[in-house]
Amino acid sequence: MPTRVNFDPRTKLIIVLLTTLIFILNISFMIEIIFVIFLSCLLMLNGNHKLGVIYLVIFSLLILCNLTIFSEINDSWSILGSFLLIGGRRILPTLMAATFAMTNTHIGEWVASLQKLKLPFNLILPLVIVFRYFPTLLNNTKAIFKALKFRGLITNKFELILHPIKGLEYILVPILVSTDTIATELSSVVFIRGMGNQMPHTSIYANRFQWLDWLVIVVSVLLMIGGIVI
């Protein structure tokens, strides 16, 4: 049984913000590598062992391609190639930070933390509904594919490629029509569970700022400063 650290949601939020900031700024190659390794360590500590490794492998491949195949820019293909590679390298850390933030933190923890940060309820509510919507969407899409199969409308992936518009219609119609219903139902559930209460919320999970949270924040801030200075 792999153990994992319970990071405070506020730490996760700070990491997301800092990561976005760092990769908007033009940082040095060395710091970029260190930061990605740092993020994948965080992912593993957070319990996403597999994903931490996968992200690291993808990043290494991107770097490798960048250094070998597209090391010199001389024609339009290499311009396109290196553009995509560098774009990928810029987006990847943000994805890692998002994964870190979105997994293994319960919604109740997020709500309690965001309220501690004095964020207005009108901002928290849509966030909760959007986050909750994705798993529902995934489940519904699975159910739709099952139904399409036994109804004989789309029986395999090739048909989806051969008739993309028809396929898209079959998948999108139930999803779009039900999105309205699901959004209404989820908002209703948010209300019947009393999320609109203006008084301070509590959390059943006993996590507060620990030394590891502080350490993570200090390291990431140092990395950012280093990235700008070097």
Q: Where are the alpha helices (DSSP H) in 107-210?
A: 107-116, 121-150, 157-162, 164-192
Closest to other proteins by CB, 50 vs 146, is 146
* Burial of 120 per CB tally in 10 Å (0-12, 13-18, 19+): exposed
Closest to other proteins by CB, 33 vs 169, is 169
Cα-based distances in Å from 43 to 12, 38, 58, 93, 149? 11, 9, 15, 11, 37
CB 204, min distance to other proteins, A: 4
CB 3, min distance to other proteins, A: 17
Q: Which residues bind other proteins (CB under 8 A)?
A: 106-108, 111-112, 128, 132, 135-136, 139-140, 143-144, 146-153, 155, 170, 173-174, 177-178, 181-182, 184-206
Find, among 10, 103, 4, 1, the residue nearest to 44 by Cα: 4
Cβ contacts of residue 6 below 8 Å, gap of 6+?
Answer: 104, 205, 207
Closest to other proteins by CB, 207 vs 210, is 207
Length of the chain: 230
CB 96, min distance to other proteins, A: 21
CB 163, min distance to other proteins, A: 13
Closest to other proteins by CB, 90 vs 166, is 166
Closest to other proteins by CB, 16 vs 129, is 129
CB 86, min distance to other proteins, A: 36
Q: Is the dihedral of CA 188, 193, 195, 198 positive or negative?
A: positive
Residue 92 tokens read as 């990847």
